[in-house]
Amino acid sequence: MSVRNIDPKVLWNHFADLNAVPRASKKEEEVIQFMMDFGNGLGLKTFKDEVGNVFIIKPGSKGFEDRPIVIMQGHIDMVHQKNSDVDFDFATQGIDMFIEGDWVKAKGTTLGSDNGIGVAMIMALLSSSDIDHPPLEALFTIDEETGMTGALGLKGGILEGRIMVNLDTEDDDEITIGCAGGIDVTAFRTPAMESTPSETTAFKITVNGLNGGHSGMDIIKGLGNANKIMNRMLWKMRESFGLRISEVTGGGLRNAIPRESFSKVCVPNDQLENWKKEFTSVASTIKNEYSSNDSGLSIEFEEIENSSEVISIEAQDSILSAIYSSFNGIYRMSPDIPDLVQTSNNLAKVTITSEKFEILCLTRSSLDSEKFDLANALSASFEPAGFSIDLSGSYPGWTPAPKSDLVEMMRKLYVEMFEEEPNVMACHAGLECGILSTNYPGMDMISFGPNIRGAHSPDEKCQISSVKKSWDYLLEGLKRI
């Protein structure tokens, strides 16, 4: 069955249309025009601001004209990640979707349900002629995934509504009322290379098969980080066997836990057999450590042609030490909210080549002070290795208001519809609500959405029955606001 035939068809057809449009973060020109054409095609007031956020305004349906205005918000960019063995061009191809049981998936790439399903829900509301709803201000932001520059660039005075529904939550039993802020930490230094030693044999080392996932929501799972695992392997081999490194490339986007890392190394010929035995032993130890939650982890080597250059001894040793000592994972749990990660770091991308020495991290926290504390700790790891540090893209968290009128109404509605209490919670992810509230203080906001698993990875999937549940919940909620 085609995705377009899933009920509610209007919603899934909008999702399919959206997924046919390239929409990588910071490359949203096509999807911005797509949304502008969509709104104008409906005859609705449609415009964009100077940073590229798109606004579509729809009056309330008959009998709902005088209800409070509700802002419906989602982001139109998506994470572009694919498996290394998949031939796919995100710049020209639409997402190739398929149905497996109760789930919609993509073939070897991210699905784009984060936040495409939420956007499709808003599009279905805007295009409807038979849905009861209050006046709507639809806000489609850009670049949520790699800097939140759309939300950061949104000026005050454009939106009139004082109630906002964000549709970027990934568990259908949750009502999100708070989130973490974040900051990008970038370490960079001038490459330092020298000639490859003679009498050596070159190998390519591959770390892959990890689950990966969202660097905020999934950080609590203790998943393997390919960059840290690769560094551990290289560190272990550097002194005992005279291993020299010519290249290390691992990870991708800051907000995705890295699933793969690749390195090119050379080993003195008189150490080959001992090196291979030690490699196999260390790889086995690491795979055993992750056997419960990353059972697909693979750590392998293959012989390749030798490179002409390797990283200088000084740079190699200092970089390996810096990455080894840099913090990755949960820094602190919330002392106030059970099971909530308060502060974390994702060592997202490592690029050590003859052209570039660069390491990218994304640090998150519900507390601005702790966010900057961890960013400073990372700086202290990288600076002794000759790296310069750039701290950029800082954005605030969203402070929960658990007793607000909107939260209480939607909580009671959830109990009425589904006969259980929802999980009213804050999340360790960078929702745009906190940023938007800086220019629109006092706005009553919530976030919810359907079950999405594996976001930011090629394993991403969206549950069909859960989309219907969230859609029905949204429609009934709009009637009661």
Taking the C-alpha atoms of residue 208 and residue 224, their distance in angstroms, rounded to an integer, is 10
**Using CA atoms, how far apart are residues 456 and 348, in angstroms rounded to an integer?**
12
- Which of 395, 418, 447 is at the close of a domain? 395
- Indicate whether 232 and 114 sit together in one domain: no
- Confidence (pLDDT) at 382: 98
Same domain for 262 and 380? yes
How many CB atoms are located within 10 Å of the residue 272 CB?
A: 15
Could you report the per-residue pLDDT of 133-172, keeping only the tens digit for each?
999 999 999 999 988 899 999 999 999 999 999 999 999 9
- Alpha carbon distances (Å) from 180 to 166, 291, 365, 366, 454: 15, 30, 5, 4, 19
Task: Identify whether residues 210 and 298 lie together within a single domain.
Answer: yes
Same domain, 59 and 89: yes
pTM (predicted TM-score): 0.76
SS3 13: helix
Question: In CATH, what number is assigned to the domain containing residue 383?
Answer: 3.30.70.360
What pLDDT shows up at residue 163? 98
CA distances from residue 477 to 35, 414, 461, 468 in whole angstroms, order as listed: 25, 9, 26, 14
| C-alpha distance across the termini of the chain, in Å | 36
pLDDT of residue 194: 96
Supply the DSSP string of 133-172, one letter for each residue: ---EEEEEES-TTTT-HHHHHPPTTS---SEEEE---S-T
What pLDDT is attached to residue 74?
98
- Answer yes or no: do 293 and 175 share one domain: no
Residue 416 three-state SS: helix
User: 373 with 426, same domain?
Assistant: no
Question: Are 260 and 286 spatial neighbours (Cβ–Cβ below 8 Å)?
Answer: no
Residue 431's pLDDT is: 86
Q: Does the active-site annotation cover 77?
A: yes
- Half-sphere exposure of residue 28, counting CA atoms within 13 Å on the CB side? 26
User: Do 80 and 187 lie in a common domain?
Assistant: no
Domain ranges, residue 259: 183-395
In a shared domain, residues 224 and 268: yes
Last residue of a domain, one of 395, 430, 462: 395
Prior bond to 8 cis, omega within 30? Answer: yes
Contacts of 87 (CB under 8 A, 6+ apart): none
State the pLDDT at residue 1.
81
Is residue 87 flagged as an active site residue? no
Q: Active-site residue among 28, 114, 143, 144? A: 144
Pick the last residue of a domain from 363, 395, 427: 395
The C-alpha atoms of residue 284 and residue 432 are separated, in whole angstroms, by 42
What is each CA distance from 473 to 16, 67, 70, 479, in whole angstroms? 22, 18, 15, 10
Catalytic residue (one of 77, 171, 218, 459): 77
Q: Specify whether 328 is located in the same domain as 199.
A: yes
Residue 3: what pLDDT?
Answer: 97
Residue 426 and residue 345 in one domain: no
- DSSP tag of 61: P
Q: Which residues of the chain are modeled with pLDDT < 70?
A: none
**Residues 282, 371 share a domain:** yes
CA 178 to chain centre: 17
Same domain for 336 and 440, yes or no, is no
Q: Domain tally for the chain?
A: 2
